[in-house]
A = this chain, B = another copy of it.
Amino acid sequence: MIDVCLLGTGGVMPLPGRWLSSALIRYNGGMILIDCGEGTQIPIKIAGWGFKAIDAILFTHYHGDHIAGLPGLLLTIGNAGRVEPLTLMGPPGIRKVVEGLTVIAPELPYKLQLIELPDKEEAETHLNGLIIKSIPVDHTVTCLGYCLILKRQGKFDIERASKLNIPVWYYKQLQKGYEVKVGSQVIKPDMVLGPERRGLKICYCTDTRPTYELIDFVREADLFICEGMYVNNEEKEKAVKKKHMTFTEAAEVARKAKVKAMWLTHYSPSLTEPGKYIKEASEIFPNTEAGTDLLMKTLKFTPE
């Protein structure tokens, strides 16, 4: 199970009534934040999931509207009592940016672990049981798209476990993927688990043109959070020039990638009522929602 909260949906600058684009993802008691523009700590406060359990912040890129809220958030996480290290991930240059911004947060009560992700190829990192994949996208500066994947192991075969005479108190360990020793026999998880089942995949991509690689990257995601800076083909020239996407283009990516659902985000400040134009996308990809600040959803494993 993964909870997702779209904290904000704006691009360029925070507006009265619209926070900057970012998303908070909660799973297994931990949280991951994607991007942190100026003010992001306020919708986090409103969401009510707390600050202390934020284990990592992933940055798509280092334009101000995606990172300027970092020092304030780090201070607030410290005030919330965190002492465990916090991971910050992003494209190359993360050290310089974080060192610069934290000049006003010099004494945090926890350590920052910086991970520089590659800007030329896909990468995979692991965090508390979650797989974090990144991919370089097509923007005016180096920018990454992210997929968070929660794997789901095979079904526990009680009949088989019973035949192997495994005491029930070992079931949990085997379910969690640990081997156990029963008498002189070593029982490996795959001896009692069926084939790996479909897990959960959530993707977050802003500040990019549509690309073939992006379609492959987000393929069959349960939720695809995607930028829609502009609305339709009339604004395509602007989108091409500024390396953004229109609603129409985002919907094409979602359709081709066969994702289950898409939320649009990262609206231009001039796009005051994005919901009005949802048809531009939903005619191409029906399960599109015009994201709104603090939109939440729980993704659950497919029942079997």
Q: Which positions in A face B, CB cutoff 8 Å?
A: 12-16, 37-39, 41-42, 45-46, 62-65, 67-69, 71-72, 75-76, 79, 96-97, 99-105
Contact = CB atoms under 8 A, between A and B. Distances in A.
Given A64-B75, A68-B72, A71-B64, A45 B104 contact: no
The 7 A-B residue pairs with the shortest CB-CB distance, nearest first, are A100-B103, A38-B72, A100-B100, A39-B39, A68-B72, A64-B104, A64-B75
B14 A41 contact: yes
Contact of A42 (B12, B39, B76): B39
Contacts of A101: 71, 100-101, 103-104
A131 to B, nearest CB: 29
B75 A13 contact: yes
Contact of A15 (B15, B45, B102): B45
A38 B42 CA distance: 10
Contacts of A76: 13
Nearest to A14: B42
B104 A63 contact: yes
A100 B104 contact: yes
A63 B68 CA distance: 15
Nearest to A43: B16
Contacts of A96: 103
19 contacts: A12-B79, A13-B76, A13-B79, A14-B42, A16-B45, A38-B38, A38-B68, A38-B71, A39-B39, A64-B72, A64-B75, A64-B105, A67-B104, A68-B71, A71-B101, A97-B104, A100-B104, A101-B101, A101-B103
Contact of A41 (B13, B46, B99, B103): B13
Contacts of A38: 38-39, 41, 68-69, 71-72
Nearest to A45: B16
Given A14-B72, A64-B72, 19 more contacts: A13-B75, A15-B42, A15-B45, A16-B45, A16-B46, A38-B39, A38-B68, A39-B39, A63-B104, A64-B71, A64-B105, A67-B104, A68-B69, A68-B71, A68-B104, A96-B103, A97-B104, A100-B100, A100-B102
